[in-house]
């Protein structure tokens, strides 16, 4: 399913994290929007927004249905919140796009815990077609993409898609339970179709852009618990908001996410690890990475 016209090679390179300018301020590190949550899924919004802050974003706003906005606001005092119009089931409606598009953002994450509805599909479509800043699309955002194939046709060159295997199969139009014989070939096909950076999450996550792919080696089975994917989304959008390219943000973010999981597992064990443990280990992962020997420039 891949094209032989362009070379595609594996890389182990990761970018350096440079010291911050002493004269910088919160506006220097990005205005990030996280669109997440629905009734019963406020935790997804809290985890993603908190992870964006831990990844270094200067100003983070978490936009969620109005009914859960107070819960999301209590989850972390360091981000701002934005209530959005919702339907009777507590999911955001398409009219939320007017509010989202009325403000300037440096990066947007959309999808964690949003729920599934035609209104969410419409919100996704309008956001993707109207926003020029880089985006991370995850979870229910990916479900909407799979139901709107026209959005997959080269409109996502400014995006990172973060599917797990079932979501990946839906994006390809396959049965979510169908096994993949050649994951690299399928990942490259989706990358060429969408022009997005693809992160196929799993035991050894694949991060792929137009020219390269990377097999991530950090992480552990303890991370197979609810909420860890929301934290990855937050890390990625936090990096994008600071000006990282989509490919650099994806490679580094996936690596650091796994590092945080490994640090948490040494402290809590794989069996007892929960997403909050991972969130609390992000800062340690950044410190270890900056001080470690695994860091290479490219």
pLDDT average, residue stretch 237-259: 98
Whether pLDDT at 297 is above 90: no
Residue 58 has pLDDT above 70, yes or no: yes
* Residues 62 and 72: beta-carbon distance below 8 Å: yes
DSSP assignments along 195-209, one per residue: -SEEEE-STT-EEE-
pLDDT band at 38; cut points 50, 70, 90: very high
Band of the pLDDT at 183, cuts 50, 70, 90? very high
pLDDT of residue 235: 99
User: What confidence tier does 292 reach under pLDDT thresholds 50, 70, 90?
Assistant: confident
pLDDT for the residue numbered 220: 98
Ordered DSSP codes for 78-96: TSEEEEE-B-TTS-B-TTH
Q: What average pLDDT does the chain have?
A: 94
Phi, psi of 113 (to 5 degrees): 70, 15
Strand order from edge to edge, sheet including 9-10: 9-10, 212-215, 206-208, 197-200, 159-161, 135-137, 107-110, 31-35, 59-65, 80-84
Lowest mean pLDDT among 145-159, 185-199, 248-262: 145-159
Whether the per-residue pLDDT at 216 is higher than 50: the answer is yes
The predicted structure's pLDDT at residue 156: 87
| Region 187-215 average pLDDT | 97
The whole-angstrom separation of Cα 239 and Cα 241 is 5
Sign of the alpha-carbon torsion through 126, 127, 131, 136 = negative
Position 298 pLDDT exceeds 60: no
% of the chain exceeding 90 in pLDDT: 91
The whole-number pLDDT of residue 6 equals 65
Residue spans of alpha helices (H) in the chain: 42-54, 69-75, 96-101, 118-130, 140-147, 165-171, 183-194, 228-241, 246-268, 275-291
| Average of per-residue pLDDT across 157-179 | 94
Residue 274: count of CB within 10 angstroms of its CB = 14
Instruction: Determine if the pTM surpasses 0.85.
Output: yes
What is the b/e burial string over 140-175, where b = at least 16 CB atoms within 10 angstroms of the residue's CB?
bbbbbbbeeeebbeebbebbbbbbbbebbbbbbeee
Domain ranges of the chain: 28-291
Residue 1 has pLDDT above 60, yes or no: no
Rounded Cα gap, residues 189 and 114, in angstroms: 27
Residue 295 has pLDDT above 70, yes or no: no
What pLDDT sits at residue 2? 46
Distance CA 240, CA 244 (A): 5
Question: How much is the average pLDDT of 146-154?
Answer: 89
**In the Cβ-directed half-sphere of 145, how many Cα atoms lie within 13 Å?**
33
Interval 64-82: pLDDT, tens:
999 999 999 999 999 999 9
What is the model's pLDDT at position 5? 53
- Top-level class of domain 28-291: alpha beta
* Cα distance between residue 72 and residue 44, in whole Å: 9
- Confidence tier at 36 by pLDDT (50, 70, 90): very high
Angle formed at CA 38 by CA 285 and CA 82, multiple of 5 degrees: 75
Instruction: Show the tokens assigned to 140.
Output: 């229910």
């Amino acid at each position: 399913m891949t094209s032989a016209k362009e070379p595609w090679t594996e890389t182990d390179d990761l970018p350096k994290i440079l010291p911050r300018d002493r004269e910088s301020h919160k506006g220097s590190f990005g205005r990030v929007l996280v669109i997440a949550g629905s009734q019963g899924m406020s935790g997804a919004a809290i985890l993603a927004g908190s992870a964006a802050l831990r990844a270094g974003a200067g100003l983070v706003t978490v936009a969620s249905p109005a009914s859960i906005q107070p819960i999301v606001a209590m989850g972390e005092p360091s981000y701002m919140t934005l209530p959005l119009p919702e339907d009777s089931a507590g999911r955001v409606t398409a009219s939320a796009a007017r509010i989202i598009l009325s403000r300037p953002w440096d990066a947007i994450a959309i999808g964690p815990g949003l729920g599934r509805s035609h209104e969410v599909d419409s919100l996704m479509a309008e956001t993707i077609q109207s926003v020029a800043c880089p985006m991370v699309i995850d979870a229910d955002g990916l479900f909407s993409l799979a139901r709107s194939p026209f959005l997959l046709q080269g409109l996502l060159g400014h995006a990172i898609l973060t599917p797990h295997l079932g979501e990946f199969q839906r994006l390809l139009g396959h049965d979510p339970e169908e096994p993949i014989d050649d994951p690299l070939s399928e990942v490259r096909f989706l990358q060429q179709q969408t022009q997005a950076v693809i992160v196929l999450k799993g035991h050894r996550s694949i991060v792929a852009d137009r020219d390269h792919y990377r097999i991530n080696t950090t992480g552990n089975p303890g991370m197979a618990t609810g909420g860890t994917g929301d934290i990855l989304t937050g890390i990625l959008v936090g990096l994008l908001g600071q000006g990282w390219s989509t490919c650099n943000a994806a490679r580094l973010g996936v690596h650091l996410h796994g590092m945080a999981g490994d640090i948490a597992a040494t402290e809590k064990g794989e069996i007892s690890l929960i997403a909050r443990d991972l969130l609390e280990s992000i800062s340690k992962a950044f410190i270890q990475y900056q001080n470690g020997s695994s860091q290479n420039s490219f």
